[in-house]
Amino acid sequence: MSTVFIDKTYSLGDGSSYLIRPIRLNDKERIIELFKHLSPESRYLRFAHAISKLPDDFLENILHLDYETEMALVAVIQNQIGVEEIIGIARYVKPPNQDICEFSLSVSDSHTANGIGTHLMTDLITHAKENALQEMVGYVLRNNSKMLHLVSDLGFNTSKINDDPDFKIVSLPLREK
């Protein structure tokens, strides 16, 4: 049974703030804009290969969630002209018949040093715990030092994948054993 996520507001260092809320069906253009504001390196680190456009099926999957098995949270700010802009997104997906979930995270290059990724992940972890998931995992490119540092700070364990030298698996138990 999926729990309801309560929108949360966080402060930025410049006195402004951002909101973390669940993704909405009408966020498609804002997600595309977020992707456009990711550098080629950030795109590669997030998707593990170079892409210049978000695949349509990716957009449809992320906008049409089954809240029993997945969640996507976005960080939004009001831009200079008062329009809501997505500056980060965190998502988890639960495979069928398992009590684990796999996460992903992207934050706009212009906002990476503001704690947005940490807040998105913390809120995503809380939601996964409230939905009785046992573990959160992620596959992180071994040269993605920012992500490896972030998940380490959040208590994730990092290990090598035997047959894939390019990735590390990170995992966080969500329940006391």
Q: What predicted TM-score, i.e. pTM, was given to this entire model?
A: 0.89
Q: Say how far residue 77 (Cα) sits from the centre of its chain.
A: 16
Q: What is the CA radius of gyration of the chain?
A: 16
Token look-up 């009785």 returns 132
What is the arithmetic mean of pLDDT over 76-95?
90
Count of domains forming the chain: 1
Produce one character per residue of 57-67: b if its CB has 16 or more CB atoms within 10 Å, e if not: eebeebeebee
At 136-171, the pLDDT tens digits run: 999 998 888 899 999 999 999 999 988 888 889 999
At 20-42, the pLDDT tens digits run: 999 999 999 999 888 888 887 87
Provide the strand spans (E) within the chain.
Answer: 8-11, 17-22, 70-78, 84-93, 100-107, 135-141, 157-161, 164-173
Produce one character per residue of 154-163: b if its CB has 16 or more CB atoms within 10 Å, e if not: eebeeeeeee
- Is 154 within a domain? no
- Is 173 within a domain? no
Residue 85 belongs to what domain range?
Answer: 8-137
- Is 40 within a domain? yes
- Is 45 within a domain? yes
- Is 51 within a domain? yes
Q: What is the CATH number of the domain that holds 39?
A: 3.40.630.30
- Is 110 within a domain? yes
